[in-house]
Structure 1
């Protein structure tokens, strides 16, 4: 998908994350569990790659999005048997889990040996879904948590570079300050301004290249082919 598919106050963040998930989507196979599925925005990426797509969300934080979930449950107490899924997807969810190590251990438990976890988490993003917003993660922190849970790391990718990160935070901050609670006309004007700002920073990124801190990190991790004792 191009930037045109994500026009709005968060087009850089959404495009960057979707593009990186799409790049790693070839790891998906068999039975897939989407932990914190929300509205299942990645279903089109995976439905042709997997046998079955199961979405799980937590009712206390999901709000209206719970209508899209196939299963209501807690990521730290997944309601599935050992080795049920071949692939687990969890995007921008782990920052909302107060005990992330426990959640990753549960994902490891329900993943079949040799299966893959595709995980993303933000490093830079304003508070959201408060008060259920607990952490921000570097790629090194995610690697540590995943390895501690028993996973091996296959691939790691950034969703943005320095200029895209700055442009997105600038635009989103502008929207939160002046557009979020405004009338329809003012909100639309602010969103257009956000699109212009982000476009400018996207161009800077194209000119100077991708470097520096990313909004989010996407990691592909694999469960060992034999279960840990």
Structure 2
């Protein structure tokens, strides 16, 4: 079952691109946070650190002058196939580093944050998101979950200073995210079911997102944290 879900999720990401994130309450929560932060803090030469399938490229292109993608695995559109914990990219060469839910997959997140700091120009910004709630995924490279305090701590030995840390999603978004992963992951490859499952899934996701907003579960059980760090 795990293999079926993994294959279908990969297929959805390839076929839907950035629209893939609209399939879950988690993606809906990110869609409310990232554009505002990118508009306020992004710009210039941007590095998408841990870009994967370039799911955020269309969004990021709107908030930078030039876009580059880094990932540990070679794939179409990846400019730099390197380990974020130790790259050979030129120091102080980027204005913005965008890093979405990558640090939980690196063995030494402090090293990754130190490298992000090194890559940024003075007064540059890093927009970094990490999960607080998540099921096991991309094993065996699934090492950590974070609180806002832990996220700030792993940057404490760098030149990065936290400007703001926001919550994205809550407990019901987590439930929606799990439902979407398994429900869509198991049915996406069945054409006769796809029309129904897409619509039913969207109904569940918007309900979960709405419940988080009404009940405020993100205050004490956030799905993700999104932080903005500025290099001082």
Confirm or deny a common fold (TM above 0.5). Answer: yes
**2:208 is the alignment partner of 1:201:** yes
Q: Provide the residue aligned with 1:94 in structure 2.
A: 103
**2:27 is the alignment partner of 1:14:** yes
TM-score w.r.t. structure 2 length? 0.80
Q: 2:225 aligns with which of 213, 217, 222?
A: 217
Size of the aligned set, in residue pairs, is 213
Question: What root-mean-square deviation, in Å, do the aligned CA atoms of Structure 1 and Structure 2 show?
Answer: 2.5
* 1:65-80 alignment, distance < 5 Å: 66-80=75-89
User: Which SS does the other structure have where 1:67 is aligned?
Assistant: coil
**2:178 is the alignment partner of 1:169:** yes
**2:166 is the alignment partner of 1:157:** yes
Deviation at 1:90, TM superposition (A): 0.6
Q: Unpaired runs of 5+ in structure 1?
A: 225-229
- Which has the larger displacement, 167-176 or 211-220? 167-176
Q: Are the counterparts in 1 of residues 43 and 95 from structure 2 also a CA contact under 8 Å?
A: yes
Change (3 A) 1:213 1:80: same
Deviation at 1:35, TM superposition (A): 0.6
User: Which SS does the other structure have where 1:33 is aligned?
Assistant: strand
Superposed CA deviations along residues 17-66 of structure 1, whole A, max 9, x for unmatched, are 1321111002112211111112323333332432211111111xx6xxx1
Q: Unpaired runs of 5+ in structure 2?
A: 1-17
Q: Provide the residue aligned with 1:57 in structure 2.
A: 71
Deviation at 1:16, TM superposition (A): 1.1
Superposed CA deviations along residues 168-192 of structure 1, whole A, max 9, x for unmatched, are 334435455x547x74434654444
Q: Are the counterparts in 1 of residues 160 and 229 from structure 2 also a CA contact under 8 Å?
A: yes
- Alpha-carbon distance between aligned partners in 2 of 1:9 and 1:20, rounded to the nearest angstrom: 14
- Alpha-carbon distance between aligned partners in 2 of 1:123 and 1:36, rounded to the nearest angstrom: 18
**2:42 is the alignment partner of 1:28:** yes
Q: Provide the residue aligned with 1:82 in structure 2.
A: 91
